[in-house]
Structure 1
Amino acid sequence: MSKIVVFGAGGRGGRRSVEEALSRGHRVTAVVRDPAKYADLATSGAVMVAGDVTDADAVAVVAEGHDAAIVSVYRADVPADEFYGACAKAMLAGLGKAGVGRMVVLGIGTLLETAPGVRFMDQPGLPPPFRPFNLGRAVELEVLRTTESDVDWVVVAAPPTPLDDEAPRTGRYRTTGNELLPYDDGDGPTFDYPYDDRGPRFTFSDLAVALVDEADNPAHHRELVGVTHPDARGKA
């Protein structure tokens, strides 16, 4: 049994990660900004606590005594570059101070590459409203890559298509390195269909399997790695 702390436990990725970790017999601490809004999580078997992911000292306090951290956070009321940059710095510093050696971050698939050196978000058709959030997540990744830390991190990203939040867990997924695979019909992903679901849809439940797998048995280190439906086609 391990102790896993999940930051951003109230969102879909965080909530599924809490469920997955509990199902494996782990002791789980669920960190949210306002525990009063998540009464159901309080009865799930997880320990509910309030925390600020942009405050290194606050991160260290709630992370103390845990073996790994899963980070699945979002703020709509703060500029994305400000929030994700501050979060990455605070998580590295706070987890390092707490002695937590492993961090698994839920990233976004638009940072994956459609060609060598070309991220999905770099396509000319990127809708302007999407740019600030994508740039914020790129800032987060750059902070992780350039900050000296003893924390062994990985950013796990699902495809930039709608994930199925209803389908049951299968426990199956495929890793793709830093590559975004073509859709199942053979068409490469473009911003003409930014939320295209023509191929097999990946699920939040199986995304959580991948996140907890990386917390349990680290397979990727200090890198961005894509995960997708096991039947997705491509050379990865």
Structure 2
Amino acid sequence: MTTIAVFGATGRTGIPLVKQALDQGYTVKALVRNPSKMPITHKNLQLIVGDALDVSNVQQTVHDTDGVVSCLGQNKTSDPDLQTKVTRLIVEAMKQVGIRRLVSLTGGVVGDPANDKPGFIDNLIVFIMKQMAGKGAKNELMDGISHAEVVRNSGLEWTIVRAPLLTEAPAKGSYQVGHVGTVKGIKITRADLADFMLKEFAKKKYVGKMPYVTNG
């Protein structure tokens, strides 16, 4: 039975990802600060109560797993570089125990210059975020960029999944995968995004790549 370490498990994308993973027969180890925020109970779900910025908590979560899926994001009280800091700890913990597979989520505005073909609207969205967004949004953007650099330089079997606007709508059951400017759509449901992340974790179709996923 495959065991996945999940970070950001009680977030709005993390919860559907954990549910789908358990439904598909995975064992899940999830690091959570507040276990009351996890609405799922299951014999194959192990909650590690702790702090993602604590080295020992991260190591405990990663230990005896087959890989890591990170749905980490920021909230109003987060450190401005939370995702980057935690990702560094995850990468080091994985290297220490020889775990190779890492799938990490970030925003669609985090660029992949070698493969993206952004149009006018894509560039406009990034410009607006950088110039007019509040401090929190700017922190999230810069943290996403910095975290991606950590992942790309990790030497692991990594995939960075990039998503546009996330919605709480029911899963549509289909989505497009490509790069910014090569696929249509500016939204994806969290359920569909979770589905793609789990499939990519197992199939490894986009190892060393930064796919952009939308509902079209």
TM-score bracket, normalised by the shorter chain, equals 0.7 to 0.9
Query: Structure 1 length as normaliser, TM-score?
Result: 0.76
Partner of residue 24, structure 1: 24
Partner SS state of residue 51, structure 2: coil
* CA displacement at 1:221 relative to structure 2: 1.8
Query: Contact 1:59–1:95 at 8 Å: present in 2 too?
Result: no
* CA displacement at 1:203 relative to structure 2: 1.3
* CA displacement at 1:96 relative to structure 2: 1.7
Deviations along 1:93-151, one digit per CA (max 9) or x if unpaired, are 012223321111111111144539xx7588432223132211111111122223x43x2
The alignment status of 1:125 with 2:128, answered yes or no, reads yes
Give the alignment partner of residue 175 of structure 1, picking from 152, 173, 177: 177
Partner of residue 134, structure 1: 141
* 1:1-236 matches, cutoff 5 A: 1-38=1-38, 40-43=39-42, 45-76=44-75, 77-80=77-80, 82-112=81-111, 113=116, 115=118, 120=123, 123-126=126-129, 127-129=132-134, 130-146=137-153, 148-149=154-155, 151-159=156-164, 161-163=165-167, 165-168=168-171, 170=173, 172-177=174-179, 179=181, 181-183=183-185, 201-229=187-215, 232=216
* CA displacement at 1:222 relative to structure 2: 2.6
List alignment gaps of at least 5 residues for structure 2: none
Letter in 2 for 1:22: L
Query: Contact 1:58–1:94 at 8 Å: present in 2 too?
Result: no
* CA displacement at 1:4 relative to structure 2: 1.1
Root-mean-square deviation over aligned CA pairs = 2.6
Letter in 2 for 1:140: H
Deviations along 1:140-173, one digit per CA (max 9) or x if unpaired, are 1122223x43x211110112x242x231462x22
Partner SS state of residue 142, structure 2: helix
* CA displacement at 1:42 relative to structure 2: 3.1
CA distance in 2, matches of 1:123, 1:36: 36
Matched positions, count: 206
List alignment gaps of at least 5 residues for structure 1: 184-196
Query: Contact 1:57–1:94 at 8 Å: present in 2 too?
Result: no
